Amino acid sequence: MYFVYILQSLKDDNLYTGCTSDLPKRLKAHNSGKVKSTQKRKPFRLVYFEEHETLSQSRCKENYFKFYEGGRQKRSLVETFPQEKVDLMLAPRALTGSKGSGGASPVEAKPRPEPF
């Protein structure tokens, strides 16, 4: 499973779009400064994501968001995306029966819950 995601900089409110196969790990990389393109705009919070079967599908949607038509749609998607979905994506494994640590804030990435 692959994800296209949109992060919002808590420093300047700008949006960043990317894709990955491990969303919590990628958010952590952005917030720790390991991603060169976003180092100066951290911290970030996850504000939108979509799942795709293939990396190719995910990259296609990422490119759509990075250009004119998709770029215009991006803010609207972010404003209407349910925060509950973000919380579930970043929830600690403890909620699914695995051992894990405390709660996650939208800025802090925790491992993705195991599928049911």
Q: What is the pLDDT of residues 70-114, one digit of tens each?
A: 888 888 888 899 988 998 888 875 344 433 333 334 444 444 444
Strands (E), the chain: 2-9, 15-20, 44-52
Is 8 a member of any domain? yes
Is 57 a member of any domain? yes
Find the domain containing 72 and state its range.
2-82
Task: Specify the CATH number for the domain of residue 50.
Answer: 3.40.1440.10
If one counts the domains in the chain, the total is 1
Q: What is the pLDDT of residues 13-62, one digit of tens each?
A: 899 999 999 999 999 999 999 999 898 999 999 999 999 999 999 999 99
Is 73 a member of any domain? yes
- Print burial letters for 92-113: b (CB count within 10 Å at least 16), e (below 16): beeeeeeebeeebebbbbbbbb
- Nearest residue to 39 (alpha-carbon basis) of 48, 49, 24, 29: 29
